[in-house]
Amino acid sequence: MIKNIRILPGTNKDGIKENFSYIDFNIGELYTIVGNTGSGKSRLIKDLEQLVNKDSVTGRTVLIDGKAPSFDVRGETSKHLIAHLGQNMRFVLDKTVGEFLLLHGKCRGIETPDISAIIQVANEITPEAISETMNLNTLSGGQTRALMIADISCICNSPIVLIDEIENAGIDKTKALHLLLDSNKLVLIVTHDLHTALMSEQRIIMENGGVKTIVNRTREEKTLFEELNRAYQSRLKLQNSMRKGESLA
Instruction: Enter the CATH code of domain 4-217.
Output: 3.40.50.300
CB 240: neighbour CB atoms within 10 A?
12
Confidence of residue 246 (pLDDT cuts 50, 70, 90): confident
pLDDT at 175: 86
The DSSP line for 204-230 is EEEETTEEEEEEEPPHHHHHHHHHHHH
The mean-pLDDT minimum among 23-27, 40-44, 115-119, 150-154 falls in 150-154
78-134 pLDDT, tens digit each: 778 888 887 666 677 788 999 999 988 888 888 888 999 999 999 988 888 999 999
190-221 pLDDT, tens digit each: 999 999 999 999 999 999 999 999 999 999 99
pTM: 0.85
pLDDT at 45: 92
pLDDT at 89: 67
Going by C-alpha positions, the residue among 101, 81, 66 that lies closest to residue 161 is 81
Question: Residue 25 above 90 pLDDT?
Answer: yes
Question: Residue 241 above 90 pLDDT?
Answer: no
147-191 pLDDT, tens digit each: 988 888 888 878 899 988 776 566 788 888 888 888 888 999 999
CB-based contact 5:160 (threshold 8 Å): yes
Question: Residue 26 above 70 pLDDT?
Answer: yes
**Region 231-238 average pLDDT:** 87
- How many whole angstroms separate alpha carbon 199 and alpha carbon 217? 9
The mean-pLDDT minimum among 26-30, 77-81, 140-144 falls in 77-81
Scored b (16 or more CB within 10 A) or e, 91-130 reads beeeebbbbbbbebbeeeeeeebebeebbebbbebbbeeb
Residue 162: strand pairing partners:
84, 188
CB-based contact 81:158 (threshold 8 Å): yes
pLDDT at 167: 62
pLDDT at 244: 77
Domain boundaries, the chain: 4-217
